[in-house]
Chains A and B, each alone.
Chain A
Amino acid sequence: MAVEMKLPPVLDIIRGNIVKYGNPLALKGSEVAAWAKGLKLPKEGEVLFYTGGEYQLLPFIDSLVKTMTHIDQGSKSFSLMMGVRNILDKAGFNAEKVYASVLAKDRERFNSVCYKAAFVLQKLGYDLAYAGDEELYSGALLYELGFWQDLKEYAPKVRRMIEKTRAKTVVCLSPHAAEVLKLVYPKMLPGFSIQVRTFVELVWERRNKLPAISSAPVVIHDSCRLARELEVDEEIRDILIGAGVPVREAERNRQWTTCCGGPGKLLFPELSHVMGSRRVTELEETGAETILTSCPYCLAALAGGQEKGDKTAVEDLIEFLFRGYAA
Chain B
Amino acid sequence: MKSDLTKAFADYAKDLNQASRDENIQKAMSRAVKSYRATTDETMRRFPHTPDLAAEVREIKTRAIQDNAALLQEAMASVERNKGKAFYAKDAQEALRLALEIIGRGKVVVKGKSMLGEELHLREYLEEHGNEVWETDLGEFILQLKKERPMHILSPAIHVPREQVADIFSKFFQKEIPPDIAAEVGAVREFLREKYFSADVGISGANVVAADTGAMVIIENEGNVRLSTGAPPVHLLMVGVEKIVPTFQEAMKVAEVTWRYAQYGVPGYVNIISGPSKTGDIEKVTTYGAHGPKQFYVIFVDNGRSQMAGDERFSQALHCLRCGGCMYECPVFQVTAGHFGHTYLGGIGAIWTAFVSGGLDEAAPLLYTCLRCGRCVERCPMRINVPGMVGELRKMLVYGESLPGEDLPEAAVAGGVSHAAET
Chain A positions near chain B (C-beta within 8 angstroms): 1-9, 11, 15, 72-75, 143-149, 224, 228-229, 255-259, 261-264, 267-268, 270-271, 274-275, 278-279
Contacts and interface: CB of A to CB of B under 8 A. Distances in A.
Contacts of B335: 271, 274-275, 278
B374 A7 contact: no
Interface string B1-39: 111111101110100110010000000000000000000
A224 B6 contact: no
Contact of B6 (A74, A270, A271): A74
10 contacts: A1-B402, A2-B402, A4-B3, A73-B9, A145-B398, A146-B395, A146-B397, A146-B398, A271-B16, A271-B336
Interface residues of B, number: 45
Contacts, number: 137
A255 B393 CA distance: 25
B9 A7 contact: yes
A119 to B, nearest CB: 31
B69 to A, nearest CB: 25
Contacts of B372: 144, 263
Given A224-B375, A271-B16, A148 B395 contact: yes
A5 B17 contact: no
A242 to B, nearest CB: 28
A278 B33 CA distance: 14
B120 to A, nearest CB: 23
B361 A5 contact: yes
Contacts of A224: 371, 373-375
Interface in B279-326: none
Contact of B2 (A6, A74, A228, A258): A6
Contact of A275 (B4, B329, B332, B360): B332
Given A4-B3, A145-B394, A259 B373 contact: yes
B413 to A, nearest CB: 14
A320 B418 CA distance: 66
User: Top 3 nearest A-B pairs by Cβ distance?
Assistant: A146-B394, A259-B373, A74-B10
Contacts of A262: 371
Given A3-B400, A224-B374, A258-B375, A271 B9 contact: no
Majority secondary structure, B binding face: helix
B1 A1 contact: yes
A146 B391 contact: yes
Interface string B384-401: 000000010111111111
A267 B368 contact: yes
B1 A228 contact: no
B406 interface: yes
Contacts of B331: 258-259, 261, 275, 278-279
A2 B407 CA distance: 9
Contacts of A256: 329, 375, 378
A6 B13 contact: no
B369 interface: yes
Contacts of A145: 394, 398
B332 A228 contact: no
Contacts of A2: 1, 400-402
B398 A271 contact: no
Nearest to A143: B391
A274 B378 contact: no
Nearest to B20: A274
